Structure 1
């Protein structure tokens, strides 16, 4: 009996000592690693196990030892964009070989349904776009929808090579972003889509943000339950973002805001703190480019405009950029079908601000400040070169006096400045623009990019 127990102990010890090396699903065949960076490879094995990793781009072999918690993490240096390469993990019990690995640009795409929206969901020229989506150096990883009450370490999903079959169900905005970047720079692009339709920004924000800023807990109470997405704070961050924070990315793309119309006034506060928390968890001030929600007939007056203005105000956070979509929307559809131009505009911001390869204007006019001259109110805008109205329809400018009552203003353009007057306002003190939920104004700059909704208050 003692002999049998001894033998069983030996067998158990051997199984414990030589467990399989295990990798998170974010590491797999066909993946993309961030170029010219220090990136982490990580996973699990037996406690205190020693094994080797060989990186194909330089032929180096690294010895790795797990901790007592059975986790391991090692930093490797990636080369310039290229590939394909292999990465081999050689343990005492198993060997893992990752094949067809590319080195390039890795971008995370997140938000709600307009980011999740695919060609199969319905976009302009869907059949043609799907048929032409043959870009083997664009790789796609869709994070499976999950929730969690605490931050997790593992996401479910697989890297896929971009093809008509895989592109058709992937984020269309992210795909068009990657296609534009690759065409301009001729480098591999890896996209990670972690989005969930109808989700509010609160579910994508770590819980400690709410602990540090109780006012955000209060504003979150205004978010109503819906049938499409969880509303509990941090649940999607915990399950779909936290497990990615050790995986090196170049930047993030975001398309969300429709589900925060209920607490629109606090969106800038929430959104900027969410961005800062993501950067903190990744340990990098990566670029964060986002899409302003489009005009749509929301339930309460002005709530969509307030979110748009809050998104504009979030640009005060460094290394951010915003795409305005008022000219490529339909006010009766909360899911505009033109995802091509959205992805193109996001990519152009990245190409100019992050990659420094584009010289053209990539932003529409943005409110800077105003001044008054007797009955006139002069609006100064950034990115206003070649300012013009495309149509003679309602300009959507309003000004108010000390009583706070807004009146439609008559606009003139003078040296790329908008000059406003209203018969009812003798001493103007404030101005707002496109302040209706469905306002689609026609004020553009020379790059034919539209002016953002704004309020001077």
Structure 2
């Protein structure tokens, strides 16, 4: 048990003395008392780590509290002047359900064992309110300190009735009874930094609007598919996952341990140059005549280079003209992939982590630019199919503010100058393992509902997601045994390059699967097709994501009269050479985000070739047409990885992407 949820022997002694042994204390030394108490068997009663000081317990429902002790032991819980008791079973397990309460606090919870007059476990500063489980992959895990306006948000994070709990990462082969770690914290400028930004902004709005304590029980892990969060039993029920589950039965914890150790070595190589390459490779006089060449900007994918993972060194020699020598210059690398370090004439200029920089330009000190011949060296981690410098070419140059030297063209590169990076199996992505370690142990903690942001790791299998996502939702609801708990989730944002012509899109298909999940009872979806960033899979405006989730909660859960969704496709009718698209969730009326004509609509005839179309708002409908299609049969909106689209309702919420031809037999099915 953690220090925050267990009374130490000394603390217990102090409590015992104060309430029961005052007369004895007069006659006996404290040392003698402590010596006597050490012979008493403390610590047998345990509760899962999800219980701690500062927790929020769910209001207006019976409150489950559970744990372990010696078999056939009486356990009593004292909470808010009420006492509830039970007897542990033959395995020492116990559970009580505290009577339902209204929002309020703070309270103290005390756990008593048998006839002992003092508590063996005690928690303080407990609030009664609404608890939301926040789960998913990296966009839910993305921290407040990584979000837009982070410094201001952290400075203003004084919300004592918001409590935050972050379940420690843990992958397990079988369902666990307890999580690996975590503790409740009061939301302040310290605790909020590493909290989920989406969940925090969601909690902040609900706490402000509903005036009720909010607990965020965060269980997230970046880069994970929905299968990892689903139980084995539920996964075996689907042919999509059944075979994979059975294949993984040969896994042991030794596989996990080895992978974790390899992962440490993996990142050690990425972040720390080996074989003294950082001392030798960037030097101006290095002979790189036998190195291979690539024209930049481009990536390994562009040149069909065989798959490779590891450290790659790039070099380019440039000649500075006389009017730029001896000046402080600026170098811009455009958009290098992954983690990299930049060297200029043998001196390290920068070292990035996860391409955290939005721009990749750096100052070159005047002392390094005195000679005409200069050597640029870049040490780059080539991982997961990446490698190289992304276009456009105009973003690669050296300048003094007036003159500019292009860095495009031939670059030398060489692989295998450093140790081989270990192969990582990423077992945290395997089916069931996160459910086992990070969801099962917090069941049946009393909660109000779920918020979820995930899907990027399933984007290549959108049709499967139609089954897998609702399956996980149902799995969690059944196991929590609190009925159709509200399940609110975020649809994937716009991301990657904008396509000049209508085309197919894996991300659009995944968004479609997410929209289809709205047929499940008591679900809500926050569309953020306007909040993404082309070159950033983790868009930083988490404030608006949290707000839109909170709007859904206000409407679906707290019964407030608010517009919580953007326009939702209802159907269409063909009117000659036009298609009239019908919407629900139009709010106060349809509009465009930027006041410009509608963008993002495409229609097709019987040949199923789509063309961009003109679109105009007509009441709660949109009328779509193009001279290129005389007999339209299908219409699409925002059907792309990163669509240009601007339809909203008057409340400012974006229309949800759709296609009318979603039920046709696609090649992918």
> TM-score higher than 0.5 here?
yes
| Structure-2 residue corresponding to 1:296 | 495
Q: Pick one of 166, 173, 195 that aligns with 2:198.
A: 173
> Shift of the alpha carbon at 1:421?
1.2
Q: Pick one of 596, 609, 621 that aligns with 1:417.
A: 621
| Structure-2 residue corresponding to 1:440 | 644
Name the SS for the 2:428 alignment partner. coil
| Structure-2 residue corresponding to 1:367 | 569
- State the Cα deviation string for residues 384-436 of structure 1 (Å, max 9, x = none): 24212234367111112222221222112111201111223222221111111
* Pair 1:303–1:217, CA change in 2 (3 A): farther
Inter-partner Cα distance in structure 2 for 1:146 and 1:219? 20
Segment drifting more, 291-300 vs 404-413: 291-300
Counterpart check, 1:71 vs 2:93: yes
TM-score with structure 1 setting the length: 0.91
| Structure-2 residue corresponding to 1:6 | none
| Structure-1 residue corresponding to 2:512 | 309
| Structure-1 residue corresponding to 2:469 | 271
| Structure-2 residue corresponding to 1:37 | 61
Note if contact 2:171-2:427 (Cα within 8 Å) is conserved in structure 1.
no
Name the SS for the 1:90 alignment partner. strand
Name the SS for the 2:493 alignment partner. coil
Note if contact 1:298-1:304 (Cα within 8 Å) is conserved in structure 2.
no
* Pair 1:347–1:403, CA change in 2 (3 A): same
Inter-partner Cα distance in structure 2 for 1:83 and 1:138? 12
Name the SS for the 2:190 alignment partner. helix
Inter-partner Cα distance in structure 1 for 2:427 and 2:152? 31
Inter-partner Cα distance in structure 2 for 1:209 and 1:423? 50
Inter-partner Cα distance in structure 2 for 1:275 and 1:321? 12
| Structure-2 residue corresponding to 1:12 | none
1:317-336 → structure 2 map (5 Å cutoff): 317-336=520-539
Inter-partner Cα distance in structure 2 for 1:311 and 1:142? 26
Counterpart check, 1:287 vs 2:509: no
* Pair 1:219–1:42, CA change in 2 (3 A): closer
| Structure-2 residue corresponding to 1:195 | 220
Q: Pick one of 444, 452, 458 that aligns with 1:246.
A: 444
- State the Cα deviation string for residues 47-90 of structure 1 (Å, max 9, x = none): 1111321112xx12222210001100111113110000111111
Segment drifting more, 245-254 vs 411-420: 411-420
Counterpart check, 1:256 vs 2:454: yes
Inter-partner Cα distance in structure 2 for 1:269 and 1:366? 21
> Shift of the alpha carbon at 1:218?
6.6
Note if contact 2:85-2:96 (Cα within 8 Å) is conserved in structure 1.
no
* Pair 1:411–1:393, CA change in 2 (3 A): closer
Note if contact 2:133-2:219 (Cα within 8 Å) is conserved in structure 1.
yes
> Shift of the alpha carbon at 1:303?
0.9
| Structure-2 residue corresponding to 1:236 | 434
1:52-63 → structure 2 map (5 Å cutoff): 52-56=76-80, 59-63=81-85
Note if contact 1:196-1:229 (Cα within 8 Å) is conserved in structure 2.
no
Inter-partner Cα distance in structure 2 for 1:430 and 1:454? 11
- State the Cα deviation string for residues 330-369 of structure 1 (Å, max 9, x = none): 121111110111111111110111011x322111011111
Name the SS for the 2:191 alignment partner. helix
- State the Cα deviation string for residues 176-215 of structure 1 (Å, max 9, x = none): 1111001111111111000001111110111222211113
TM-score with structure 2 setting the length: 0.63
Note if contact 2:598-2:647 (Cα within 8 Å) is conserved in structure 1.
no
> Shift of the alpha carbon at 1:227?
7.3
Inter-partner Cα distance in structure 2 for 1:102 and 1:346? 23
Segment drifting more, 24-33 vs 264-273: 264-273
- Extract unaligned runs of 5+ from structure 2: 1-38, 248-383, 386-422, 663-669
* Pair 1:320–1:103, CA change in 2 (3 A): same
> Shift of the alpha carbon at 1:217?
4.3
Aligned length: 438
* Pair 1:311–1:298, CA change in 2 (3 A): farther
Segment drifting more, 25-34 vs 211-220: 211-220
> Shift of the alpha carbon at 1:18?
7.8
Inter-partner Cα distance in structure 2 for 1:294 and 1:195? 18
> Shift of the alpha carbon at 1:447?
0.5
- State the Cα deviation string for residues 209-245 of structure 1 (Å, max 9, x = none): 2211113447999x99977672210110111011112
* Pair 1:258–1:298, CA change in 2 (3 A): farther
Note if contact 2:42-2:120 (Cα within 8 Å) is conserved in structure 1.
no
Counterpart check, 1:451 vs 2:473: no
